[in-house]
Amino acid sequence: MEWSDVRIFLAVARGGSFGAAARSLGVSHPTVGRRIKVLEDEAEQPLFRRTGDGLVLTDAGDSVMTLAESMENSALSMERRLVGNHERLEGILRISSAEWFAGYVLAPVLAELTRRHPAVVPEVIASYRLLNLSRRDADVAFRLVPFSEPDIVQRRLMTVSYGLYGSAETVRAMQTDPSSAGLILMNTAQSHFPDVAWLLDRFPRSRRVFTSTSRAVQAQMCLRGMGIAVLPRPLGDAVSGLQRIETPEPPPTRDIWVGYHHDLRHMDRLRAMLEIADTMLPAGTVARR
């Protein structure tokens, strides 16, 4: 059983279809089908069965899945160790973070990294999803929550202040009727965020008008007079035309955690980026003034 075939098997099992596996691996649909047929011929029985919800593992496929994940862990461990021991400051550094953090906090750090080390290419994966560092979905991640995965080196990097923002027109209207402003919130998956509860608690009579997983999109809707939003201050203060609304009690702050897999602790380009971040980013609360 070859590792290249095992990767395809795992992609199909996780994606539920040949098409999803092909897209995730960057190969053609027929290639996926051929390699799965090779595995099934070796096993002398089907590894997947078709259902209305896509492909699911057969009993034989379940048995192969355990072996495949073990092979994947070994292959990824070897890859991380080889990358981590690379002594030259060159190559891609994959960074996972929220879009607003990459654009308004991390951008100067990455610019300085490439100025000092032109052969290093930062690759930002801007997403609210928590990527798997063990599978090298990213080399390093910046999150609002601590890491729970095993073998992750992590620490609290900084604390970010949040503020309430609206357009000049929205702020004027609120002086007459505070409940006139619509609420711009995170979507349902992020409805547990403390700033969402803070906003709903203080404006119980206001209606929800827009939700998004992107803080940058929220800021743009705010700027266009759609309503008010709680935004990270590095973002909200930087958007020309937005006004920060003073409140008796400010929105809750959030900690930013940085983490990477233990096997990458010797990766020079990762260490260089973190050293620059420690120098350029304040250790305390950002934008609390």
Q: What is the pLDDT of residues 101-140, one digit of tens each?
A: 999 999 999 999 999 999 999 999 997 776 777 777 889 9
Per-residue pLDDT, averaged over 282-288, amounts to 58
Is residue 71 within 8 Å of residue 56, measured between CB atoms? no
Express each pLDDT in 129-182 by its tens digit: 767 777 778 899 999 999 988 889 999 999 999 999 999 999 999 999 988 999
For residue 42, pLDDT beyond 60:
yes
Residues 153-165 as b/e (b if ≥16 CB within 10 A, e otherwise) read ebeebbbbbbbbb
Residue 83 — very low, low, confident or very high, per pLDDT cuts 50/70/90? low
Q: What integer pLDDT is reported at residue 250 of this predicted model?
A: 95
Specify the pLDDT at position 88: 55
**pLDDT at residue 82 above 60?**
no
Q: What per-residue confidence (pLDDT) applies to 79?
A: 62
**CB of 273 within 8 A of CB of 139?**
no
Choose among 92, 101, 193: nearest CA to 142.
101
If one compares 288 and 28, the residue with the highest pLDDT of the two is 28
Q: What is the pLDDT of residue 17?
A: 92
Residue among 214, 210, 206, 203 at smallest CA distance from 225? 210
> What pLDDT, in 10s, does the model give residues 249-274?
999 999 999 999 988 888 899 999 99
- CA atoms of 202 and 245, how far apart (whole Å): 13
pLDDT value at position 77?
Answer: 67
pLDDT class of 289 with cuts at 50, 70, 90: very low
Nearest to 135 by CA among 263, 44, 275, 243: 263
What pLDDT score does 65 carry? 87
Residue 284 has pLDDT above 70, yes or no: no
Q: Is residue 184 over pLDDT 70? A: yes
Tell which wins on pLDDT, 51 or 77. Answer: 51
Q: What's the CA gap between 188 and 284, in Å, rounded?
A: 30
Task: Quote the distance between the C-alpha of residue 262 and its chain's center.
Answer: 19
Per-residue tokens: 108: 């100067």
Residue 45: helix, strand or coil by DSSP? coil
CB contact set of 201 (below 8 Å; sequence gap of 6+): none
Interatomic CA distance for residues 35 and 68, integer angstroms: 14
Q: Is the pLDDT of residue 84 over 50?
A: no
- Cβ within 8 Å of residue 43, ≥6 positions away: 60, 64
Task: Please indicate whether residue 8 or residue 230 has the higher confidence score (pLDDT).
Answer: 230
Helix (H, G, I), strand (E, B) or coil at 285: strand
Q: Are strands 152-160 and 183-185 parallel, antiparallel or unpaired?
A: unpaired
Own/partner pairs, 130-133, CB within 8 angstroms, 24+ separation: 131/96, 133/259, 133/260, 133/261
**Strand ranges in 117-221 using DSSP code E only, listed in sequence order:** 120-126, 140-143, 152-160, 162-167, 183-185, 208-211
* H-run or E-run covering 216: helix 215-223
Tens of pLDDT, residues 185-221 = 999 888 899 999 999 999 999 999 999 999 999 999 9
